[in-house]
Amino acid sequence: MSHPHPDHLFFSADGCQCHHSTGTLYTLAEVKSALLAYIEKHDLVNRVEQQYLNVNADAVFSAALYGPPNSKGATPVPEFAKREEALGALCGRMQPWYRIAVGSDEPITKKGALRPIVIVTKTRQGRKTCTLITGFEPYQLSSDTLTEALRVRCASSTSSTYSLRVCRLALF
């Protein structure tokens, strides 16, 4: 999910039916369909090379993708871009959000990118190995439930430790 930055336009050209609110969350599919609708409405497809878009042909389009022209630290605006490059540039200027729904509970929506669960194998005392699992808290997995499930599934001993920043789960 993405949320447009309030400081850039999300296709709010005058007379355009493609206006989208900057206060709403959008999935990648919704952003892509809005982008393709804007491209079609304003005829931004290059006539010679159909796979490229004329980025400089529309000021609102280039500002939405690459920021206002002549702004400090702005990305130079290319003359042409492929659709996937334009989608990547537009999503890059949006704030990432994520939503996690567990069962029938109300989904939790948070700002920022969702970090993956990290699984690391460490060697301890010669040939013994230990598997450390971190980063499972945002997925609403309790360490006790995960510990018990992995103990049964892997037929090994498990332990969980908490610190101020990280909850670790170890399989021995």
Residue 172, pLDDT > 60, answer no
pLDDT of residue 8: 44
* 43/167 Cα distance (integer angstroms): 52
For residues 124 and 19, the model is more confident at 124
pLDDT of residue 71: 64
- pLDDT class of 15 with cuts at 50, 70, 90: very low
Tell me the residue type at 33: S
For the stretch 76-93, pLDDT in tens is 788 899 999 999 988 888
Task: Please give the average per-residue pLDDT across 97-113, as a whole number.
Answer: 87
Closest CA to 53 of 13, 33, 83: 83
- pLDDT class of 17 with cuts at 50, 70, 90: very low
Task: Please give the average per-residue pLDDT across 156-160, as a whole number.
Answer: 76
Contact (CB, 8 A) for 60 and 44: no
Domains, the chain, ordered by start: 2-97 (1.10.245), 118-171 (3.10.28.10)
The rounded percent of the chain whose pLDDT value lies above 70 is: 78
* 96/60 Cα distance (integer angstroms): 22
pLDDT of residue 84: 94
pLDDT of residue 134: 84
SS3 for 26-80 is ECHHHHHHHHHHHHHHCCCECCCCCCEEEHHHCHHHHHHHHCCCCCCCCCCCCCE
For residues 138 and 165, the model is more confident at 138
For residue 6, what are the contacts with CB-CB under 8 A and spacing of at least 6?
22, 23
Cα angle 74, 79, 80 (rounded to 5 degrees) comes to: 115
Residue 75, pLDDT > 70, answer no
Task: Please give the average per-residue pLDDT across 100-121, as a whole number.
Answer: 87
**pLDDT averaged over the chain?**
79
Residue 121, pLDDT > 60, answer yes
For residues 7 and 60, the model is more confident at 60
